[in-house]
Chain A
Amino acid sequence: MEIRIVLALCVVLCGALCGKSLSDSARRRAETLGSIIEAVRRLRVRMTGMFEPVQSALQHADSPLFIAVADGMKGGRSAGEAWEIVRDKAGRRGGPAEYLLKEDRQALTELFTDLGQSGREEQDLLLGGVLQALEALHTTALAKAGEANRLYMTLGLLIGLMLALIVI
């Protein structure tokens, strides 16, 4: 009898953990957005505070996505052109933009298209605007991640319970 209870508890726990890992992609999206926001802040300091050229500033912003765009700029391309090339590859499995949604990518496209193309004040405004947009996306992503986490854990728990009932 005891073994059956223990076995039942194990199945329930497994269910909960499965649910948690399913909610992973929402959590990863929020994390990716958070790290991109940090990188844009660093970019802003380097570009408008230290007047560092775009390619170099992107490389030093400590973000795999930005480093990929900086590498794409080799050969004389603009940031916007480099982003077009890098975007699809980065969005694939294992890439730095894997968990980003369409609206996140849209915000990044707006950033890279105009990056470096105007004076200091305009660039500061651009980066400030992009930061605001990304922060709004980040807030909703965090809320969704929390929601998804709760939902999937509960579902996993319940399914585990059901399996335990059926089998044990």
Chain B
Amino acid sequence: MDVDFVFRIAGIGVIVTVIAQLLTRAGRDDIAMLATLSGLLIVLLMVVNQISDFFTSVRSLFSL
């Protein structure tokens, strides 16, 4: 897990927050919600491998 990856996730998080704010201010609350959820989905997709590795590690640690 390199720092690069963490910065990317952080950057995406910031951008999604700004987008959601802009849309809320423009009165498009429903699209703001959609944008937030999409951001979350994208980040989850990005980290899904890491999560899979994490669970594999936990299993091997506790020999499950």
A161 to B14, CA, bound (A): 11
Specify the main secondary structure of chain A where it touches its partner: helix
- Contact partner of B22 (CB less than 8 A), chosen from A154, A161, A165, A166, is A154
Which residues in window 6-64 of B have CB below 8 A to A?
Answer: 8, 11-12, 15-16, 18-19, 22-23, 26, 39, 42, 46
Specify the main secondary structure of chain B where it touches its partner: helix
- Give the total of B residues in contact with A, Cβ under 8 Å: 13
Chain A residues with CB below 8 A from B26, complex form = 147, 151
Given contacts A151-B26, A154-B22, contact A166 B46 (CB under 8 A): yes
| A/B pair count, beta carbons within 8 Å | 28
A162 to B23, CA, bound (A): 16
The answer to whether A158 and B19 touch across the interface, beta carbons within 8 angstroms, is: yes
Size range of the interface on A? 10 to 19
How far, in Å, is B3 (CB) from chain A's closest CB? 14
Interface residues of B (CB under 8 A from A): 8, 11-12, 15-16, 18-19, 22-23, 26, 39, 42, 46
What are the 4 closest A-B residue pairs judged by CB atoms, nearest first? A162-B15, A165-B11, A158-B15, A151-B26
With A158-B19, A166-B42 already in contact, 7 other A-B pairs whose C-beta atoms are closer than 8 Å = A151-B22, A155-B19, A158-B18, A158-B22, A162-B39, A165-B8, A166-B12
Interface residues of A (CB under 8 A from B): 147, 151, 154-155, 158-159, 161-162, 165-166
